[in-house]
Structure 1
C-alpha cells in the first residue's frame, strides 16, 4: 500500500466516523412520531401480516420486513428502532465514496462522502424509523452495480444489480426515479459504445439479466404495486417552479436547515466546477466511463428525479423525502467539482500551480463541512425541525396521576405510536381511536365519546389533522358540551386537550353581570359550579350561559381566574367560548351559548378562601378587559374554600 493509499484510507475512515457520529448521536433523544409509530406497529407483525397491511397502505413491505428482524436483534427503544436507518445512511455515505472514486477518482469520492456525511437531509432521515435512508442506500448501491457492469462486465455486478434493484423496489416506489436514471444513462452509454465500435454484447446481457432477475424477485408484489400507484391521489400543492426549485436545491445541497444556515459560496462553486470539463493528468489511468458520460451522470440523476417529482404534483414539504436518492447524486456532482479543483490547469510562468489549486479544493470542501455545523445543531435545538412529541404527551398525562384515564386518539397511526409510550407511562389507560369510520359515523362516534365520559374521571384528547380526520368536529363537540375542558397544549403539530367529566350535579350560583363591548353587551344568564369546597389537586367544573344583545366585533377570550385574598393569581384558564368552537363573532343576538370550563386547583395550594373570577378580553389587546357592571373588569362568581382532606 502506497503512502497515498494510506492517506486516502485514513481520511475515508475519519469521514465514516464523522457520518456515524452525527447520525447515532442523540438518535433516541426525540420522541417517535406518527409515521414511526406505524413502522413500529408493522415490525410487531409476522412477515405475511406485514405484507397484508402494507398492501392496504402506499408503501411496499421491504423496509418493514427488515425492521421486524432488526427489532428482534436490537430491541424496541427509540435508538434501536432508528439505528437501522442510521446504519443505512452511513453505508450510503460510504457508497458515495465508492461511486465518486469509480467515476472520477479518490478526490471526488472523498469529497462526495464528506458532503453526504454532513448533509442534514441525509441526517434527518438517518434518525427516523422509516424507509427513506434505506431507499438512498439501495439507490447508491444499484447505481454502483450498474457502473460496475459497464466498466468490468462480470457476474458480480449483475448479481449486485439484481439484489439492490429488487431491494429498492421493495423499499419505496420513489426508486422508480433511480431506474429512470439508469435507463437514460444506459442508453447514452450504449450509444457511445456503438459509435466507438466497442463490444457491448456482454454488458447488455449482464445488465438485462440483472434487471430481469430483479423483476422476477418483484413479481409477487408487482400487481399490488400497480394498484397502489394508479389509485394514489396526488398529495402535493400547486407551487410555481420559481418557489419549488429553490427549495429542492436547498434540501439537496444543504438539507432542510438551508433556511437557517444558508447556501454557501463553496456549495455553488463545487456545483459549477462539477460541470466543467477538464482533462486529468497524463499520468492518470484511463477513466472507466467516458469522461462526458461520467460528468453527465450526477446532473442527469438530479434532473430526472426532480422533474418526475414535480411532474407528478408531489411537491409539499412532507414529500421532499422522496428526493433523498438525488442527494447522493448531488454529493457526486459536488465531489466532481472538488476533483476539478484538484486537477485544475492553473499555470504561472509556464508551470502548473498544483499546490495552490489543491489547497483551494481542500479549503472549499472543509468550508462546506464547517458551514454545516449550524444546521446539524439546529436539527436538535430548533423547534422547526423537531418531531411531534408523543413521548412528551404521554409524560404530561402521566404527571396528572390519573391511572384510569381515557385517551382519545383521532388520527390513523396514532394508536401505534401512542401505544408505544402508553405501555411505558400508563399501561392502564384506555386508548380510544375516534372518530369511528373513515367517513365519520356521527352517531356511533357520539355514543362512544359519551360512554368514555360516563366511565372516566379524566379524558385526554390527542388531536392531529382534525380538519381532515374529523371535519365536523364530532369528538370535540361532545367533549366540549358534555365534559369540562381544562386546557390545551401543543406538542409540535399535535394538540393535547384535557377534560374533567361531570361527577357532581353542581350548584347554581346567585350571580349576574353584563360585559360591555362597543355596540352591545354580553350578559351572564346563569352560572353553575360543581362545588365551592375543594381539596388541592381537585377540579372546579363551571357551566356558564351567555347571551349577547348584538354581534360582538371581536373574538373575545374568557378568562377564569382563582385569586387569593390579596388578589394574587393562583391559577387560571383562558379560552374562547365552548373550547374555541363558538367564537364570540359567531354569536347571534339573543342566542344562548352554554360554555363549560374546568379549573384545576394546584396541588400546593394553601388551605384558605379564594375568589373565583371571570372576565372577557380581546386577545389582540390582552391587557384590556371588557368592563362589567357594576364596575371593574372581573366578575366575582363565588368564594372557594380550599381545604385539606381527611
Structure 2
C-alpha cells in the first residue's frame, strides 16, 4: 500500500506504479534515441560540434560573444571526449536530459499532488510531448535547461514542505540555479517564477514567522546565484548591447503568442494551419484541467499556483523583452512547458487511475485540511481518461510529423556535402553564403574549403553584401593563377546577408550558370563556370545611367540588362527621405520597342523582400535583381529591344499613390533596353 510522508505529503509509489513509471522512462529514452542520427545536423548543432571540440579557453571566449552561456558546451565537450563526435554522440546528452526530465516530472508531481496516478501521467505526458522529443534529439541546450528547471522546481517544493530549513537542499538549489543560468540566459525568468510561487505558497500555508524565515533563505539563495553569475554579467550585458543577429522592428505579439501556443501543444512538426485548428481543443482541455485543480483544494490549488507561475512568468518576461529587442523563437520559453504539463497531469491525473488522490493524507489530517472532492463517478473518470487520450493523440500526431514527414527535415548539410564531394571538379570550389554557416560546413566537409561570403563568425544582419565587398573577395579567390574557373554556390540564410542576389549576379557577370537539378531541404545549390577574374566588379555595373528622383525619397541611378536576360536596377536612398520611413514598392510593365505588351512584373519592394527601404543607408547604391522570367515573362526570352515603365509607391499608403517624378509624372518610361542572350 502507499504511505504518506507527514512532513512533505509525498505519497510512496506502489510497485505497480513504479513499474509503470519505469516503463514510461524507458519510452522517453527510446523515443529520444529513435533514429537519433537520421537527420543531418543543422547550423546551431554545427556550432555545438565546433565549440565542443575547442579548448576551454577558446570555448569560453566564443560564447562570451555569442547568444548562449558556456555550460552546455562544456558538458558536450566532456561527453564528446569520451564518446566521440558523431551526430548520435553529439545529440545523446539532450536525449539523456529529456529522459531525466521525465523522471523528475513524476517526482515533482508526486510531491505537489500526493497522487501516484498524477505522477505517472506527468511522466507520460513528458515522455510523449512532441516538443520535448524534438529538442531531445537536437544538440542544443534546451533539453538541459528544461531538466535543470524541473530539478530547481522540485527542490523548491521540497523546501516549501520541509518544517525546518535544510542547508543541504538550499545548497543544492543554488547549484542547480547557477547551472541553469550558465546554460541559458532566460533561465533567470523561470527562477523568478518559481520564487514567486514559493513566496505566495509560504504566506498561504505557513505561520508568518516560518514563512519569513523561508523567504529570507530564498533571497539568500538568489543572492548566491547572482554572486556566482557575476563573472559572466559583463558578457551578458555586452551581448545585449552588441547582438546584431536580429532585425530592428516591432515584435508582432499575437504571432509570438500563437507560436508559443503551437509549440507547447503540437511541437515543431505540425503545419501551422493544422496546429491552429487543434489549438482550440488544447485550450479547452487546459481550462478543464485548471478548473478541476481549482476545485481540488487545497492540493489542487497549490499545484495550480506553481504550475501557473512556472508557465506564465518566463513567457511573459521573454515576450516583454522581445518588445524591446525583437528577437524571438518559441524555443526560448521551452523552460515554461513543464508548467503546462503539471496542469494537465494534475487536473486529469488525480483520479484517473484509482482513487488515492481523493483520500486525505496524514499531513492533511494533522492540519485539519479537508479535500473539497467527492469520489468521481464512472462518467467523470471516463471524461478524464478521454481528455488524456485526446492529449496523447495530439502528441502522437506531432511526433509522427517529426519522425516521418520530410517537410520537417533539418537543413540537409550532410546530404549536400555527400552530393558535392564526388562532383566537385579540380577547377571548382564552393562559395558559402552566408559565411557564418562554416561550423556545420566544416563538420561535414573539412576537406572541401569554401569561400565565405561574408566572412563572419556569427550572424550579423547588417553585414549585407554588395558589389564592393564581394568583388574583391571573388577576384582573389578566382585569380588567374588559382586554377579555379567554376564554383558551386551553397546558400543558407542568403535572404539575410544577400537579399539582393549580389553573389549570383557577380557569378553570372563573370561566368555562366550551369544547370543542375539536385535540391536539398533548407539549402540552395547552383553551379557556375567560366569565371574570369577581371569580370568580377567592385562597383555597381551600371550600363545606362539615369537620375530619376521619385517623390524626394529615392533616385534610380541606372540599370543594366545582363547576358542571361535578367535586369538590374540601381537605387539610392536620398539623405532627406521622410520619417517614418515608407515601405517603397515598385510596379514595372514591359513592352517591346514598338509598344506591344510583354509582361507585368508583380508589385514588389525596390530591392529584396528582406531588405526594405527602411534598412537602406543614405548614399548606398542598392541593386534590384529582376530575373528574365519576371520582367520579360519567360525563362528563355526572345532577344531584342524592350521598353519598361516604372512606378514607385509607398505600400503603407492606403491609396498606393505613385511617388511623382520631378516633372510631376507618375511613372518613368525607360528604354529601349537591348537584350542579348549569350
Match of 1:612 in 2: none
Once residues 296 and 400 of structure 2 are traced to their aligned partners in structure 1, the CA distance between those partners, rounded to angstroms, is 38
2:643 touches 2:672 (CA, 8 Å); kept in 1?
no
Match of 2:362 in 1: none
1:43 aligns with 2:52: yes
1:73 aligns with 2:82: yes
1:405 touches 1:430 (CA, 8 Å); kept in 2?
no
1:407 Cα offset (Å): 0.9
Match of 2:569 in 1: none
Match of 1:64 in 2: 73
2:122 touches 2:345 (CA, 8 Å); kept in 1?
yes
Once residues 251 and 440 of structure 1 are traced to their aligned partners in structure 2, the CA distance between those partners, rounded to angstroms, is 34
2:433 touches 2:454 (CA, 8 Å); kept in 1?
yes
1:492 aligns with 2:521: yes
Where do 1:345-360 residues align within 5 Å? 352-353=375-376, 357-360=380-383
Once residues 525 and 237 of structure 1 are traced to their aligned partners in structure 2, the CA distance between those partners, rounded to angstroms, is 35
Match of 1:13 in 2: 22
Once residues 408 and 225 of structure 1 are traced to their aligned partners in structure 2, the CA distance between those partners, rounded to angstroms, is 33
Match of 1:450 in 2: 475
Once residues 40 and 261 of structure 2 are traced to their aligned partners in structure 1, the CA distance between those partners, rounded to angstroms, is 29
Where do 1:311-326 residues align within 5 Å? 311-313=320-322, 319-326=329-336
Provide, for residues 322-369 of structure 1, a one-character-per-residue CA deviation record: whole Å limited to 9, x for no partner.
121111111111011113454698xxxx99455554454344324422
Once residues 402 and 96 of structure 1 are traced to their aligned partners in structure 2, the CA distance between those partners, rounded to angstroms, is 54
Match of 2:619 in 1: none
1:61 Cα offset (Å): 1.2
1:470 aligns with 2:517: no
Once residues 457 and 384 of structure 1 are traced to their aligned partners in structure 2, the CA distance between those partners, rounded to angstroms, is 35
1:272 aligns with 2:297: no
Which residue, out of 430, 438, 442, partners 1:407?
A: 430
Unaligned stretches of 5+ in structure 1? 282-286, 505-523, 528-546, 560-573, 597-646
Provide, for residues 447-473 of structure 1, a one-character-per-residue CA deviation record: whole Å limited to 9, x for no partner.
322343453243111112223213454
CA RMSD of aligned residues (A): 3.8
Closer, same or farther: CA 143–386 of 1 in aligned 2, 3 Å: same
Where do 1:37-436 residues align within 5 Å? 37-104=46-113, 105-152=115-162, 153-193=165-205, 196-197=207-208, 199-200=210-211, 202-232=213-243, 238=250, 242-258=254-270, 259=272, 260=274, 262-263=278-279, 265=281, 268-269=284-285, 271-277=287-293, 291-313=300-322, 319-342=329-352, 352-353=375-376, 357-400=380-423, 402=425, 405-423=428-446, 427=447, 429-436=448-455
* Number of residues of Structure 1 aligned to a counterpart in Structure 2: 526
Once residues 130 and 4 of structure 1 are traced to their aligned partners in structure 2, the CA distance between those partners, rounded to angstroms, is 33
1:235 Cα offset (Å): 5.6
Once residues 207 and 245 of structure 1 are traced to their aligned partners in structure 2, the CA distance between those partners, rounded to angstroms, is 31
Once residues 264 and 332 of structure 1 are traced to their aligned partners in structure 2, the CA distance between those partners, rounded to angstroms, is 19
Once residues 562 and 63 of structure 2 are traced to their aligned partners in structure 1, the CA distance between those partners, rounded to angstroms, is 55
Match of 2:364 in 1: none
1:407 touches 1:432 (CA, 8 Å); kept in 2?
yes
Unaligned stretches of 5+ in structure 2? 3-11, 359-372, 457-462, 534-560, 565-590, 602-625, 647-668
Which residue, out of 488, 492, 501, partners 2:530?
A: 501
Closer, same or farther: CA 116–593 of 1 in aligned 2, 3 Å: farther
1:186 Cα offset (Å): 2.8
3-state SS in 2 of match to 1:406:
strand
TM-score, length-scaled by structure 2: 0.69
Larger radius of gyration: 1
Where do 1:465-614 residues align within 5 Å? 465-487=493-515, 490-502=519-531, 549=593, 552-554=598-600, 575=635, 589-593=671-675
1:557 Cα offset (Å): 7.8
Once residues 403 and 102 of structure 1 are traced to their aligned partners in structure 2, the CA distance between those partners, rounded to angstroms, is 65
2:563 touches 2:677 (CA, 8 Å); kept in 1?
no
Closer, same or farther: CA 309–553 of 1 in aligned 2, 3 Å: same
